[in-house]
Structure 1
Amino acid sequence: MSDLCCFHESMNELSPDLRHDEAHPFYTSSRHIGCIDPNCNVVSIIEDAYENAKFLCDRYYVTSPGIKIETINVLEPSQPISIVYVPSHLYHIMVELLKVSDQGGGVPRHIVGKLFNYMYTTASLPSVENVEYDAPMAGLGYGLPLSRLYARYFLGDLFLFSMEGYGTDACLYLKASAVDASEMLPWFSFRSKKMYESNEKGPDWSG
């Protein structure tokens, strides 16, 4: 909700006659509107996330794999892939996926269903003495659940496919069109659910 509030307030700052002008910087640059980037460069975010994950990997394992990014832009083949999105959300998601997608033996089948549970982790807990100074590689128990929450917030999704004894792959789905990326709000209670589903309209000030 706070994301949409920031977006709405910033949109109101635009002159009415420029809101639908494609030459306006809102449509041609990556100027942020609140925390939303109307031209979020997906590859650039992935590269930044890789550098972060690589840094952590080098610190903990003294080595790290390289990265090869292949892109296919169906709508504009000669252009980089950009979407309307929250860069910090995509960055968090990609850092987590780069840490878990590997050929490191996979996850036992009996715990696959727990991977998206908050506070659940297969890694040892990070040292309390060093957590203030060093970013932990894993073990906090919120990386994957929060990543999936971010993905689903604008009607995307996140899936993990683990083959025990081999490794784990991850698939992230995001809406390419901002029109399709509607905010998905949770049901807060049974009463609010009934209110949303009701077709009856009560009286209002318009009479």
Structure 2
Amino acid sequence: MAAKKASETFSKSMIEDMHKWGCLKQTGVSLRYMMEFGSKPNERNLLISAQFLHKELPIRIARRAIELENLPYGLSHKPAVLKVRDWYLDSFRDLRTFPDIKNMNDEKTFTDMIKAIKVRHNNVVPTMALGVQQLKKGMDPKIVYEDLDEIHQFLDRFYMSRIGIRMLIGQHVELHNPHPAPHCVGYIDTKMSPVEVARNASEDARSICCREYGSAPDVHIYGDPDFTFPYVPAHLHLMVFELVKNSLRAVQERCVDSDKVTPPVRIIVADGLEDVTIKVSDEGGGIARSGLPKIFTYLYSTARNPLDEDADVGVSDNVTMAGYGYGLPICRLYARYFGGDLQIISMEGYALRVGNLLSLLSILHMVGF
């Protein structure tokens, strides 16, 4: 079945409207502003927030939908990418056909709609990864993937924008929670313990590893459990989960035929004067020097490709240990979203992953402390 262009599925007026909104300037929202504004989730603030999102979300979604139509190397025509494109177009149409928000009844209906939009886009990352793998299967194997700058730059923009969109929607929706967790302002925990988040993320990663291999290395965490700072726990959980999952896989596969005791994965949480650094280290053999330039590209993975098993299957809800090649680049984007970074230092024969997850000075400045 031939892939349909957006103009064949959606009305001409909607496509024109999308291009008009895609040219408008989006408005940045800082962590500090979200914390201050969300600290008083009264009806007036919820109404203002909904009215802002009613105008802001179409701009951000339109930009991504336009880009999805014009990707190089035929990526726009891959079935998985077309599916993602249609999700963005459906969401743009839902937002643009929603009437002006004038009262709390309108606000409640709007909140339910953007909550549904967030759910609609839950599988965007793995589906886009599937599209990239579909592209990769048809490529000349001699192509140097890190040289495909247009695709990498697009995916960085696309995924970073998605983080922002989901943060805005999630923050607004969570402000309706009648029983928020202690110290939480929407998605933001003003007293988040990185040690506690690392512990939860590690247990989740070990569960996936046990499901895949039948066992999992231990994870040892070092740091002050009473140390806290303002951050989004879901973001930190995702980053630590991906890093630990990579380490567990490397250790497990290296020691599968060994009689020696499986070495643990180690996590160190360091609260310095300027940075909060989380270091994840393992003895999984490291990455060869020739592979290091590729680890932050979206067309590279050291793991077996899930598509090799069945290239036509849809995206499953199950989490796999590895294979699509987007874990590390996505983690780095989450780290950079609030001013941090992710670095990989590899000693072939050992391994060391360092997640400098955020600049504390930058965060403190944003939250106004």
The answer to whether TM tops 0.5 is yes
2:286 to 99, 103, 106: 106
TM-score, length-normalised on structure 1? 0.67
Aligned to 1:83: 229
- Deviation of the 1:130 alpha carbon: 9.0
- Deviation of the 1:51 alpha carbon: 0.9
Ranges in structure 2 where 5+ consecutive residues have no aligned partner: 1-27, 43-180, 248-281
Aligned to 1:63: 215
- Deviation of the 1:34 alpha carbon: 2.4
Report 1:34-183 matches (<5 A): 34-72=186-224, 80-101=226-247, 102-126=282-306, 127-128=309-310, 132=316, 134-176=318-360, 178-180=363-365
- Please give the secondary structure, in 2, of the residue aligned with 1:174: strand
CA RMSD between the two structures: 2.7
Tell me if the contact between 1:30 and 1:40 (Cα under 8 Å) persists in the aligned partners. Answer: no
CA distance in 1, matches of 2:323, 2:352: 17
TM-score, length-normalised on structure 2? 0.40
User: How many residues are aligned here?
Assistant: 162
Which range moves more in the overlay, 122-131 or 164-173?
122-131
- Deviation of the 1:62 alpha carbon: 1.4
Tell me if the contact between 1:175 and 1:181 (Cα under 8 Å) persists in the aligned partners. Answer: no
Per-residue CA deviations over 1:37-59 (Å, capped at 9, x if unaligned) read 11112111111101111011111
Q: Cα gap change, 1:175/1:149 in structure 2, threshold over 3 Å: closer, same or farther? A: same
Sequence identity (%):
36
- Deviation of the 1:109 alpha carbon: 0.6
Tell me if the contact between 1:41 and 1:83 (Cα under 8 Å) persists in the aligned partners. Answer: yes
Per-residue CA deviations over 1:3-26 (Å, capped at 9, x if unaligned) read 747545413548xxxxxxxxxxxx
CA distance in 2, matches of 1:2, 1:119: 31
Ranges in structure 1 where 5+ consecutive residues have no aligned partner: 15-28, 73-78, 183-207
- Deviation of the 1:2 alpha carbon: 6.2
Q: Cα gap change, 1:123/1:42 in structure 2, threshold over 3 Å: closer, same or farther? A: same
- Deviation of the 1:148 alpha carbon: 0.9
Aligned to 2:154: none
